[in-house]
Structure 1
Amino acid sequence: MQTIADKQPIYIRGCGFNSALGCEHDTIHKRLRQGVSPDMLTVQGWLNDGTETVVGKVSSALPNIDSTRFAHQDTANNRLALSALQQIEPEIHAAIKQYGNDRIAVIVGTTTSGISDGEQALTTRKETGSYPNGYHYHQQEPSNTGQFIADYYQLTGPCYTLSTACSSSGRVFLSAKRMLKAGLVDAVIVGGADSLCHLTLNGFHGLDSLSSSLCNPFSDNRNGINIGEGAAFMLLAHTPDENQSTPHIALLGVGDSSDAHHISAPHPEGTGAEVAMRKALADANLTPNDIGYINAHGTATPLNDAMEAKALARVFGNHVPVSSTKPLTGHTLGAASAIEAAICWHLLRYNLPLPKQINDGVVADDLPIQLASADMALTKPVVLSNSFAFGGNNISLILGLTDD
């Protein structure tokens, strides 16, 4: 079996995403520069006790899915996924023509899948005594979105879903890299999609983890997360698209760990987070000094931000600009890692200013890191993005420009 040399980068041939940041490039770039997203909304009626919370909502119209052709796959989550995938359809069709349908894999990360459709179906059953027409339990199975993507583009390569909480759509990059390096496929559609649902909002509320105002990463006053919805997908391949000008954007390194410290709380010293970042650097054959920006997991919970800052300080000191972009998107759960990787892709592709850290300005004294400020430029074309999940499941991705 032919394998790809370990030092050859994995090329990112296309990137599409949709979130509270928007789905059009101009909108995304404007909101990143301004540090404001009007689709971060205060809502009522989502939490069982009637309290308010802030959510990141997708405001764009979502594409329709032919429910006749895709029986049991016409879900809100799949429509959200398709809104991101349609942005890279030219690249997908070019890869199909180049490699063949059987040489392209689909690996998706999600946590909610079609649960929002299941909630609506249960409400209908409670009110009318029967489920709505077209509803099937398969719609809320985690595998539904991945299989929909394969069916929609008529792909016959490997197809599966990873659900490791908030690291789900980051781990798909690791699986894709292994598959490409082994020569099992020539291209992989990777990413994730998660839509708002009552289950996760009330679950996090039950853990006292939700904030009733815009989340406040790395502030001394941080008090919880905002849940968001969104989707992001990339097309990875072991060869670059010859029609794209250099430098290309590549997945340079991936690092993972699972410290299993606690079912929901991170390790207080960030030991697993540190392992993931160091493994990503080693995988990319880079040093901490090579990184120009870090997109932090930065959930704005007291425990997460403290442990992540400690881990970042041990690996990078306070010399690399850091920010969490969750005040612009919300925490999109299983889709968070792919969405934040997509933000990093935009920084690299369009040479955008670094996303400034949005908070109330009361920076915690015990967080020994350099937070990105307004109009700070990316001086080194390599970025790292972190995602840390329940159970101590951690992932770090490194993206960068390459002339290879």
Structure 2
Amino acid sequence: MPTVPNQPVYIHACGSHSALGWNADMIHQHLQAGSTPNMQLSRDWLNDGSETVVGVAAGPLPEISEQFAHQNTHNNRLTLSALLQMDEPIQKAIKEYGADRIAVIVGTSTSGISDGEQAISQWQQSQQLPQHFDYHQQEMANTSRFIAEYYGITGPNYTISTACSSSGRVFISAQRLLKAGLVDAVIAGGADTLCKLTLNGFYGLEALSHQHCNPFSDNRDGINIGEAAAFMLLSLEKPAEQQPCVALMGAGDSSDAHHISAPHPEGAGAEQAMRKALKQAGLKPQNIGYINAHGTATKLNDAMEAKAIERVFGNQTPVSSTKPLTGHTLGAASAIEAAICWHVLHYQLPLPAQINDGKSDEFSIQLAHTQQTLERPAILSNSFAFGGNNVSLIFGYPND
């Protein structure tokens, strides 16, 4: 299929499972309430027994059959929960395009590490590993291979792991594969599940909060970590049956490499990623009706992001962080927040409010934090990662 400048990539289906819920009614209820019972205070995760808030993907998960026993991880069960929400469109795409013309691209930072932790614990107690434990379960490529095997897909399948921008880069890769004509559809998204490795790692960096996170507040003291899986079926072909039709309009990335874990203090890379996304989408800052900020609630990240947003957008565009509703889902963060943007656009929901204590700091006080309807037909979503690996995605209604 020939491509044209600024050609949108259409979203044919979206499925997700996180602390927000696992069906549209639940997700919408929690988005509009600005709270969810699945952000839970727990003493189970930190080695010293301290409390922290985690975003739990509560609710039922599908079983993985004996055929895929070697792929039976919590990460893959959560992934399957999201995928089964869009099973019919996936099957339709396989039938229409062929299994070799569909790609699977996954972003993750934990893969099956939590299952590895449980296996080690069992080994320490009994000197035996769980029956179906396989080292491959905790390799980064595990989930993309599981999806391909589950659906019999023989097109490209691979995993991207760039920390908290992992599943944002997935959309950039999907866009490139489609526009190069290498595939006709892509299953794109991310999955990360709670594990002690990452929680104690962030605790060691003094980046973890012991209470509900407080994005863009002067009183913020760190992140909450969550788990999530979110996936979309993407194609250059416009879905005839969907109204309104939502698409990935543009994507921008950068790598400022300021520090191994801290962002550039002035948000240089963040600004570059946002401007590149706008340019690719053929949009101006005033065309963006809402910004879903990375908004982790750490001192450095929120300050630099507020500066970068103000330079690009001024103070007229509504901004909020939805991480108080999901936790920071790390490698799945871009994907779950892309799914939130899709829900706002597809179901024409009110914009998510800024969830904090109302005490903005000196950097973010100029940002527009009001809850309102989407007045301009495009949303920008940011994800910024260790090493200055930055991604901005724009979703909206194409004019075609």
- TM-score norm. by structure 2 comes to 0.98
Give SS of 1:217's match: coil
CA contact (8 A) 1:356 1:371 kept: no
User: Deviation string for 1:289-334 (max 9, x for gaps)?
Assistant: 1000000000000000000000000000011000000000000000
What is the identity percentage for the equivalent residue pairs of Structure 1 and Structure 2?
Answer: 65
- CA drift of 1:368 comes to 4.6
Match of 2:205 in 1: 207
Q: What does 1:125-274 correspond to in 2, within 5 Å?
A: 125-245=123-243, 247-274=244-271
CA contact (8 A) 1:296 1:385 kept: yes
CA contact (8 A) 1:6 1:181 kept: no
Match of 1:289 in 2: 286
The equivalent position to 2:394 in structure 1, one of 390, 395, 398, is: 398
Match of 2:92 in 1: 94
User: Deviation string for 1:44-80 (max 9, x for gaps)?
Assistant: 02100110000000111100001x3114201000000
- CA drift of 1:200 comes to 0.3
Q: What does 1:294-313 correspond to in 2, within 5 Å?
A: 294-313=291-310
- CA drift of 1:286 comes to 0.5
2:374 is the counterpart of 1:378: yes
- CA drift of 1:370 comes to 2.5
Match of 2:40 in 1: 41
- CA drift of 1:403 comes to 4.7
Aligned length: 400
Which amino acid letter does the alignment assign opposite residue 386 of structure 2? F
| CA distance in structure 1 between the partners assigned to 2:84 and 2:247 by the alignment | 21
Which amino acid letter does the alignment assign opposite residue 196 of structure 1? L
2:275 is the counterpart of 1:278: yes
CA contact (8 A) 2:191 2:229 kept: yes
Give SS of 1:370's match: coil
CA contact (8 A) 1:76 1:195 kept: yes
CA contact (8 A) 2:256 2:389 kept: yes
Change in CA separation of 1:90 and 1:53 when aligned onto 2, cut-off 3 Å: same
Match of 1:363 in 2: 360
User: Deviation string for 1:204-261 (max 9, x for gaps)?
Assistant: 000000000000000000000000000000000010122223x310100000000111
User: Deviation string for 1:105-161 (max 9, x for gaps)?
Assistant: 000000000000000000000000121111110000010000000111110000000
Which amino acid letter does the alignment assign opposite residue 13 of structure 2? G
| CA distance in structure 1 between the partners assigned to 2:57 and 2:225 by the alignment | 12
- TM-score norm. by structure 1 comes to 0.98
2:368 is the counterpart of 1:349: no
User: Deviation string for 1:269-290 (max 9, x for gaps)?
Assistant: 0000000000000000110010
Give SS of 2:70's match: coil
Match of 2:104 in 1: 106
- CA drift of 1:90 comes to 1.1
Which amino acid letter does the alignment assign opposite residue 156 of structure 1? T
| CA distance in structure 2 between the partners assigned to 1:272 and 1:8 by the alignment | 25
| CA distance in structure 2 between the partners assigned to 1:125 and 1:145 by the alignment | 24
| CA distance in structure 1 between the partners assigned to 2:129 and 2:366 by the alignment | 52
| CA distance in structure 2 between the partners assigned to 1:250 and 1:371 by the alignment | 25
2:320 is the counterpart of 1:323: yes
| CA distance in structure 1 between the partners assigned to 2:69 and 2:179 by the alignment | 35
Give SS of 1:190's match: strand
Superposed structure 1 runs of 4+ greater than 6 Å apart: none
Give SS of 2:200's match: helix
| CA distance in structure 2 between the partners assigned to 1:371 and 1:353 by the alignment | 15
Which amino acid letter does the alignment assign opposite residue 264 of structure 1? S
Which amino acid letter does the alignment assign opposite residue 399 of structure 1? F
